[in-house]
Amino acid sequence: MKFENEDAVLTEVSTAQDIEVWVIDKRDGTRLTNCCGAYSTHMDTDELCCKVCYMPVEIGEGDGVDNIKDYQIDKKLLLEEA
């Protein structure tokens, strides 16, 4: 999967509940949106949405709440910069 954001990469993360695949900013480990590898914002409806495609996203995706440094990384980055 390739994103317009050249700093967005996929990685597996071991959370307390599960192993998840996240899109992160390789510069600082911030979790980004799964759809576009971008940051998110709260829209007029108080719904968290991707800043690129404006689709609703889950809490933690691109809002600065989740960071890879807070979790154990199970594997190396799955997608390296091309």
In the chain, where the domains are located: 8-73
Partnered with residue 30 across adjacent β-strands are: 67
Q: What is the pLDDT of residue 33?
A: 94
Query: 6-62, pLDDT tens digit by residue?
Result: 888 888 787 777 788 889 998 888 999 999 999 999 988 789 999 999 999 999 899
Task: Using CB atoms within 10 Å of the CB of residue 4, give its burial: 0 to 12 exposed, 13 to 18 middle, 19+ buried.
Answer: exposed
Mean pLDDT computed over 62-74: 76
Q: What is the pLDDT of residue 61?
A: 93
CA distance 6 to 37: 9
CA distance 20 to 45: 28
Report whether pLDDT(73) > 70.
no
Q: What is the pLDDT of residue 13?
A: 80
Q: What is the pLDDT of residue 78?
A: 42
Query: In 3D, which of 76, 5, 72 has the Cα closest to residue 36?
Result: 5
